[in-house]
Amino acid sequence: MVLFLLIIGQNRFIASFFVFGFEKFMKNHYNECFDMIFCNTTMRYISILLLLALSFGVFGCGPEEKSDAPLAEEVTADLPVVQPVVDEGMETEPETAITKTAVEIVKVTYEKPAEEIAPNTDDNTGSKPDAEAVNTDTEKPEATEKPETTEKPKTTPPAEVKDDPKEKTPNKDAKPSRPKLVDTEFFKKCDFVFKNFVDKKGMVNYRKLRRKKRELLAAVKELGNLPTAIRILWSKNDEKAFLLNAHNILILKVVIDNYPIKPNKWFFMYPANSIKHIPGARGEKKFFRVSGLNYTLVEIEDLLLKTAKDPKYCFALSNATMMGGKLRNEAYHPDKLDKQIDEQVKKYLLDPKNLSIDTHEKKIYLSSMFKLKAYKTSFLNSRYAKIKRFREKKPDVKAFLNFIFLNIDAKRAKELESAGYEVNLRKYDWLLNERPLR
């Protein structure tokens, strides 16, 4: 029985099958043997231990060792069988023995590492290993031809296109820029009129302007059609510059529409070419179209002074008179508005007709423009009325003097503050601000 188990122990499956088959066979046919072996407790334990030992490979049933023989067979499968050269009369071994010997040699060669196969160059005898001898006797297999690879045509990469630094790519995340006054046609038309028909002293060539009034009429048209929605998005300086340009361009249109001015005999106290002779020039029934709405010149003036909250802007508003605010030979620009306004104030106060200080008589002569209703209100509501200087004067005169003190040179300002000057207002000059003929 043990010998039989040793024979079948070479295969784990057969051994496992025999364990269950042998027990059933002995039970059915050999009851006596069954009783002796399996009914006896001691023999049963011995049988169980023997079967367990067979199952776990004590007798060769364990896990089979991995062999490289299949791999060696694959290597030698492609090699041709070498037929040894045999002389006549020599005894030859069977063919199977030669084939087996070649397989074993190749197997040993395959299993040896590369260092052992390499020839020993230090050996002076020049003997080669057996493996190299075998390789010389056997024909080397022909190298497999590599498939022809079609070379792909070389394509030159496209030339890099450099971005033009002048071209700006739009930024999606950037907020849209707000509209500006300078981008409107109204501003461009106004700038053209002021530069071509007004000189540096603020005098207007009405004769030339009347002959070439196309640009003036175009500016007035653009003023009426300018959308209110755009003005809402403007900056404060844009709005102030717009109202200044609108007022001054409209006052020119009033004069051009009535030029040459015909004097009214009932207004004999005014100069013959005064704007006072034009019926309703600054009246409540003379309307002008501004952004689709109707305004008078007085309403535009009041709107500007309320928006600016600074009496400086009074000196940039033209009344088409010699004593009023001076025109500028360019349109008011939002980005340099403060500088332009300061220049207009200085020009006005440097004119002796508008301001003169008599140090001998201790008197100050001011233009009557300060006493105009809208201008006087602007001074009283400004910061100049709150300065604690010239407090002995009336509130309106105090505001005038504080304004003049801060906008004249230091020498004249010191004289104005050192002594108590009497303030006198000069008669308003309504003469038209027309450039004299040469």
| pLDDT value for 115 | 45
The whole-number pLDDT of residue 379 equals 96
Tokens for 257, please give them: 């529409």
- Collapse the DSSP code of 426 into the 3-class scheme (helix H, G, I; strand E, B; otherwise coil) and give the result: coil
Q: Which two three-digit tokens encode residue 308?
A: 């600016």
Radius of gyration (C-alpha) of the chain in whole angstroms: 60
Residue 40 predicted with pLDDT over 80: no
Q: Give the per-residue pLDDT at 417.
A: 83
Q: How far apart are CA 188 and CA 418, in angstroms?
A: 48
* pLDDT confidence band for 109 (50 / 70 / 90): very low
In this structure, the strands spanning 422-425 and 363-366 are parallel
Helix (H) or strand (E) holding 424: strand 422-425
Q: Can you give the pLDDT at residue 36?
A: 56
Asked if residue 251 lies in contact with residue 316, where contact means CB atoms within 8 angstroms, the answer is no
User: Is 302 buried (19+), middle (13-18) or exposed (0-12) by CB count in 10 A?
Assistant: middle
163 CB-near residues (< 8 Å, 6+ apart) = 169
Res. 145: pLDDT tops 80: no
143 pLDDT higher than 80: no
Report percent pLDDT > 70 for the chain. Answer: 61
CA distance 100 to 92: 15
At residue 176, does pLDDT exceed 70?
no
Q: Is a pLDDT exceeding 80 seen at residue 340?
A: yes
Given a contact cutoff of 8 angstroms between Cβ atoms, the answer to whether 256 and 248 are in contact is no
94 CB-near residues (< 8 Å, 6+ apart): none
pLDDT score for 71 = 46
Q: Residue 311 and residue 31: Cα distance in Å, rounded?
A: 136
* Cα–Cα distance measured from residue 60 to residue 204, given in angstroms and rounded to the nearest whole number: 127
The three-state secondary structure class of 78 is: coil
Residue 377 reports pLDDT greater than 90: yes
188 or 45: which leads in pLDDT: 188
Quick: pLDDT tens for 254-297: 999 999 999 998 999 999 999 999 988 888 788 999 999 999 99
Q: pLDDT averaged over the chain? A: 76
* Residue closest to 416 by CA, chosen among 403, 406, 405: 405
CA dihedral sign, ordered 226, 229, 232, 235: negative
The C-alpha atoms of residue 130 and residue 351 are separated, in whole angstroms, by 125
CA distance 316 to 341: 7
Res 184: pLDDT: 95
Higher pLDDT, 334 or 56: 334
Dihedral of CA 191/193/195/201: which sign? negative
Question: Of 39-48, 126-135, 145-154, 235-244, which has the strongest mean pLDDT?
Answer: 235-244
The pLDDT tens digits for 195-204 are 999 999 999 9
- Predicted confidence band of residue 117 (pLDDT cuts 50, 70, 90): very low
Range scoring the smallest mean pLDDT among 140-149, 196-205, 241-250? 140-149
Q: Is the peptide bond before 260 cis (omega within 30 degrees of 0)?
A: yes
SS3 126: coil
Residue 416 banded pLDDT, cuts 50, 70, 90: confident
How far is 399 from 382, CA to CA, in rounded Å? 8
* Rounded CA separation 260/267 (Å): 16
Number of H helices, E strands in the chain: 18, 5
Residue 394 pLDDT: 93
pLDDT digits (tens, 9 = 90+) for 86-104: 444 444 444 444 444 444 5
Residue 128 has pLDDT above 50, yes or no: no
- In angstroms, the CA 287 to CA 297 distance is 8
Question: Which pLDDT belongs to residue 420?
Answer: 79
Does pLDDT of 222 surpass 70?
Answer: yes
Of 74 and 289, which is predicted with more confidence?
289
Query: Which pair of tokens denotes residue 434?
Result: 């027309």
